Amino acid sequence: MPFDTDPDVSDDVLLARFARGEASAARVLTQRLTPVVMAHAFRLLGNRAEAEDVTQDAMLRLWRMAPDWQPGTARVTTWLYRVTANLCIDRLRRTARSAPLDTVDEPPDERDGPAETLQMRARSAALQRALDTLPDRQRQAVVLRHIDELSNPEIAGIMDISVEAVESLLARGKRALVAVLAGRKDDLGMLQ
Name the site residues for other proteins (rule: CB under 8 A).
1, 18, 21, 23, 26-27, 29-31, 34-35, 38-39, 42-43, 48, 51-52, 55-56, 59-60, 63-64, 67, 107, 119-121, 123-124, 126-128, 146-147, 149, 170-171, 174-175, 177-178, 181, 185, 188-191
CB of 27 to other proteins, least distance (A): 6
What's the closest the beta carbon of residue 62 comes to other proteins, in angstroms?
9
- Which of 43, 160 has the CB closer to other proteins? 43
Nearest distance in Å: CB 176, other proteins: 9
DSSP tag of 144: I
Q: Is residue 43 packed enough to be buried (19+ CB in 10 Å), middle (13-18) or exposed (0-12)?
A: buried
Burial 133-160 (b: 16+ CB within 10 A, else e): bbeebbbbbbbbbeebebebebbbbbbe
Report whether 135 contacts 125 (CB < 8 A). Answer: no
Give the nearer residue to other proteins in terms of CB position, either 96 or 104: 104
Contact 130, 44 (CB under 8 A): no
Q: How far is CA 106 from each of CA 38, 74, 102, 116, rounded to the nearest angstrom?
A: 15, 34, 9, 18
Rounded least distance, CB 175 to other proteins, Å: 6
- Tally: H helices and E strands in the chain: 9, 0
Q: Which is nearer to other proteins, 142 or 158 (CB)?
A: 142
Enclosing H/E stretch for 104 = none
157 vs 173, which CB is nearer to other proteins?
173
Which CB atom, from 74 or from 188, has the smaller least distance to other proteins?
A: 188
Smallest distance, Å, CB 130 to other proteins?
8
